[in-house]
Amino acid sequence: MRNTRLLEITLLLASMLTILANAIIAPSLPLISATFSDVPKVEILTKLMLTLPALTIAIVAPLAGRLLDKIGRIKVLYISLFIYLLAGTSGFWLADLFSIIVGRVVFGLGVAGIMTVTTTLVGDYFVGARREHFMGLQGAFVALGGLIFITAAGVLSDISWRLAFLIYAFSAFVLILVPFALHEPKVDHEEIKTATKNGQSVPSLVWLVFISAFITTVSFYMIPVQLPFFLQKMEGINGNKMGLALGSLPFAQAIASFFYKKVKAKLDFVSIYTLGFIPMAIGFSVIGFSQTYWQAIAGVLITGLGVGLLIPNGNLWMINLVPIQVRGKYVGFLTTATFLGMFFSPIIIQPVQNRVGLNSSFVVLGITLAVLSVVYFILRQRLNQISN
Listed residue (7, 250, 272, 299) closest to 143, CA to CA: 250
Listed residue (258, 341, 253) closest to 300, CA to CA: 253
Q: Using the predicted structure, report yes or no on whether residue 191 has a pLDDT greater than 80.
A: no
CB proximity list for 302: less than 8 A, separation 6 or greater? 252, 279, 282, 283, 286
Listed residue (63, 53, 44) closest to 21, CA to CA: 53
Distances (CA, A) of 296 to 145, 242, 271, 285, 292: 21, 11, 28, 10, 7
Containing structural domain, residue 296: 4-387
Q: Which percentage of the chain shows pLDDT scores above 90?
A: 43
Mean pLDDT of 108-120: 91
Q: Are 22 and 167 in contact (CB under 8 A)?
A: no
Q: Using the predicted structure, report yes or no on whether residue 269 has a pLDDT greater than 50.
A: yes
Listed residue (225, 166, 174, 217) closest to 29, CA to CA: 225
Q: How many CA atoms lie within 13 A of 278 on its CB side?
A: 7
Most confident of 64-68, 225-229, 303-307: 303-307
- What is the CATH number for 223? 1.20.1250.20
pLDDT level of residue 113 (50, 70, 90 thresholds): very high
Mean pLDDT of 124-129: 86
pLDDT of residue 337: 93
Q: Rounded distance, CA 58 to CA 335, Å? A: 7
Mean pLDDT of 296-300: 95
Q: Using the predicted structure, report yes or no on whether residue 201 has a pLDDT greater than 80.
A: no
pLDDT level of residue 369 (50, 70, 90 thresholds): very high
CB proximity list for 269: less than 8 A, separation 6 or greater? 313, 316, 317
Q: Rounded distance, CA 38 to CA 50, Å? A: 20
Number of structural domains, the chain?
Answer: 1
Q: Are 24 and 148 in contact (CB under 8 A)?
A: no
Listed residue (188, 152, 179, 181) closest to 319, CA to CA: 188
pLDDT of residue 162: 92
Q: Which region among 17-21, 215-219, 302-306 has the lowest average model confidence (pLDDT)? A: 17-21
Q: Are 278 and 376 in contact (CB under 8 A)?
A: no
Angle at CA 109, nearest 5°, toward 108 and 113? 115
Render pLDDT for 13-46 as a digit per residue (tens, 0 to 9): 999 988 778 778 878 888 888 888 888 888 778 8
pLDDT level of residue 276 (50, 70, 90 thresholds): very high
What ranges in the chain are assigned the alpha helix state H?
4-15, 29-35, 42-71, 73-88, 90-93, 97-125, 128-157, 170-181, 189-197, 206-220, 222-231, 239-258, 260-264, 269-289, 293-321, 327-356, 358-387
Torsion angle defined by CA atoms of residues 324, 327, 328 and 333, in that order, rounded to the nearest 10 degrees: 170
Q: Rounded distance, CA 279 to CA 277, Å? A: 6
pLDDT of residue 102: 93
What ranges in 36-158 are assigned the alpha helix state H?
42-71, 73-88, 90-93, 97-125, 128-157
Render pLDDT for 219-264 as a digit per residue (tens, 0 to 9): 988 998 888 878 888 877 777 787 788 888 988 998 999 899 899 9
Mean pLDDT of 362-370: 96
Q: Using the predicted structure, report yes or no on whether residue 355 has a pLDDT greater than 70.
A: yes
Q: Using the predicted structure, report yes or no on whether residue 1 has a pLDDT greater than 50.
A: no
pLDDT of residue 72: 87
Render pLDDT for 149-189 as a digit per residue (tens, 0 to 9): 888 888 888 889 899 999 999 999 999 999 999 988 875 54
pLDDT of residue 144: 85
